[in-house]
Structure 1
Amino acid sequence: MKFLSSLFAFTACGFLAAPVFAAEQAPEPSGCAAKRQDITTQIENAKAAGNTEQQAGLQKALSELNANCNDVDLVKQQEQKVLDAKREVSRRQADLNKAMSKGDPEKIDKRKDKLAESRKELQDEQEKLEKVQPDEDDE
């Protein structure tokens, strides 16, 4: 009898844990699929809030996304944004170096702040690029 109760408990734990393992294995959507999922979630939220104007706008955005979104183009656009952000960081670093050579503490602080801001923007763009790039497992 003790064996049967242990077997039952073990089986029950297995059934309860199965959805957790399944959820861990589901890959996050990327690219157009991620954007589609985001807009769909926003549509559901607008419906729940009774916001018909927002819902209509989101429906239009979803239609345009479905008609025009291409993962390859999306990745290229984001790669360009990353490249632009890298150029901005380089430019800001040069501005800081120039201010440091002149020795003006006020300008140095200002340039440091601008450089930090540009680095943050670069980091944000790189994270966005990671999200839109298709997983290598999908190929």
Structure 2
Amino acid sequence: MLKKIIGFSFLATIATFPSLAQEPLKGCDAKAYEIQQQIEYAKSNDNTHRVAGLEKALKEVQDHCTDEGLMRERLAKVNEKEQEVAERTLELKDAQESGRANKIEKRMNKLQEAEAELSAARSELNK
């Protein structure tokens, strides 16, 4: 009976204070968390060199990362990838005008790769 009362009061507390419920991490907190997860994985695989590098990266994030700076970096990356997609689109158009099938296929593959990179960069904006 006591367990039910304690459990109920805990649930009531969480319902009253939604901030106590776990929210997804964003920005520098998410970046630090991802590095910590990689550290744990490297430790479990006895990869001491990787652990050392990741711990250095984690310290850099903790000491220097700001959410605003991280967002600026991510927006710059999206802009860079958008420009790359535009360039690859023009290259494909030129290849199509030449009529050479192997050149067209090569340029199409490059464009698809650039579009995938753009999509990945855009998804980072929400992290």
In the alignment, the residues of structure 2 paired with residue 110 and residue 49 of structure 1 have an alpha-carbon distance, to the nearest angstrom, of 39
Residues 1:67 and 2:63 are matched in the alignment: yes
In the alignment, the residues of structure 1 paired with residue 69 and residue 114 of structure 2 have an alpha-carbon distance, to the nearest angstrom, of 24
What count of residue pairs does the alignment treat as equivalent? 115
- Note closer, same or farther for the CA distance 1:104–1:26 as it changes in structure 2 (3 Å cut): same
Give 1:105's match in structure 2, choosing from 101, 106, 126. Answer: 101
Residues 1:80 and 2:42 are matched in the alignment: no
Structure 1 stretch displaced more, 85-94 or 40-49: 40-49
Give the partner amino acid of 1:107. Answer: K
Q: Percent identity?
A: 38
Task: Please state whether the residue corresponding to 1:130 is helix, strand or coil.
Answer: coil
Looking at both structures, which has the greater relative contact order when contacts are Cα pairs under 8 Å and sequence separation is at least 6?
1
State the match for 2:126 in structure 1: 130
Deviation at 1:45, TM superposition (A): 3.0
Q: Which has the larger radius of gyration?
A: 1
| 1:115-136 per-position Cα deviation (integer Å, ceiling 9, x unaligned) | 11111111111111221xxxxx
Residues 1:44 and 2:64 are matched in the alignment: no
In the alignment, the residues of structure 1 paired with residue 58 and residue 28 of structure 2 have an alpha-carbon distance, to the nearest angstrom, of 10
Give the partner amino acid of 2:102. Answer: E
Q: Give TM-score, length-normalised by structure 1.
A: 0.70
Q: Give TM-score, length-normalised by structure 2.
A: 0.76
Residues 1:35 and 2:31 are matched in the alignment: yes
Deviation at 1:65, TM superposition (A): 1.1
Uncovered stretches (5+) of structure 2, i.e. residues with no partner: none
- Note closer, same or farther for the CA distance 1:61–1:101 as it changes in structure 2 (3 Å cut): same
Uncovered stretches (5+) of structure 1, i.e. residues with no partner: 1-7, 132-139
In the alignment, the residues of structure 2 paired with residue 107 and residue 98 of structure 1 have an alpha-carbon distance, to the nearest angstrom, of 9
In the alignment, the residues of structure 1 paired with residue 34 and residue 24 of structure 2 have an alpha-carbon distance, to the nearest angstrom, of 12
